[in-house]
Amino acid sequence: MSVSVRVRLWQISSKGYFMHLKYENALITGAAGFIGFHLSKRLLEAGCRVFGVDNLNDYYDPKLKQDRLDMLKVYPAFTIF
Ligand SMILES: NC(=O)c1ccc[n+]([C@@H]2O[C@H](COP(=O)([O-])OP(=O)(O)OC[C@H]3O[C@@H](n4cnc5c(N)ncnc54)[C@H](O)[C@@H]3O)[C@@H](O)[C@H]2O)c1
């Protein structure tokens, strides 16, 4: 998983994190994976445009990865390659 943008994260309370976006676009490899999915979702919720890349390999059930992508595709700012 890699990210092409610099994103600053810092904790503001015990309830969560405030995300400051330095750039508006992100390229997330492994976007259907555990970390890539959650990172993509957080970036989309923060208003970022996310370009995801994933080959949906069968290291574990690809259906789980497809389900994650389906959740990300709800966001108009998400594109998967
Ligand atoms: N999950 C953790 O707690 C954790 C902790 C430390 C480090 N890491 C590392 O972070 C990375 C991601 O972890 P994860 O848990 O999200 O793994 P994951 O297997 O859930 O996600 C990786 C994703 O990358 C995709 N992928 C793999 N090779 C690809 C390729 N050649 N082209 C396109 N897509 C490809 C897979 O299909 C998968 O969806 C791994 O390198 C892992 O070792 C994970």
Q: Calculate how far, in angstroms, residue 34's C-alpha sits from the geometric centre of ligand 1.
A: 7
Q: Calculate how far, in angstroms, residue 15's C-alpha sits from the geometric centre of ligand 1.
A: 27
List the Cα angle 36/51/8 in 5-degree steps. Answer: 60
The backbone torsions φ and ψ at residue 50, rounded to the nearest 5 degrees and listed phi first, read -115, 125
Biggest alpha carbon–alpha carbon distance for the chain:
39
Distance set, CA 76 to CA 12, 39, 72 (Å) = 28, 16, 9
Choosing from 3, 34, 42, 70 the residue with most ligand 1 atoms within 8 A of its CB, the one to mutate for a pocket test is 34
Q: What is the pLDDT of residues 24-68, one digit of tens each?
A: 899 999 999 999 999 999 999 988 999 999 999 999 999 999 999
Q: Please state the pTM of the whole predicted model.
A: 0.86
**Residue bearing the CA closest to ligand 1, atom 38:** 33
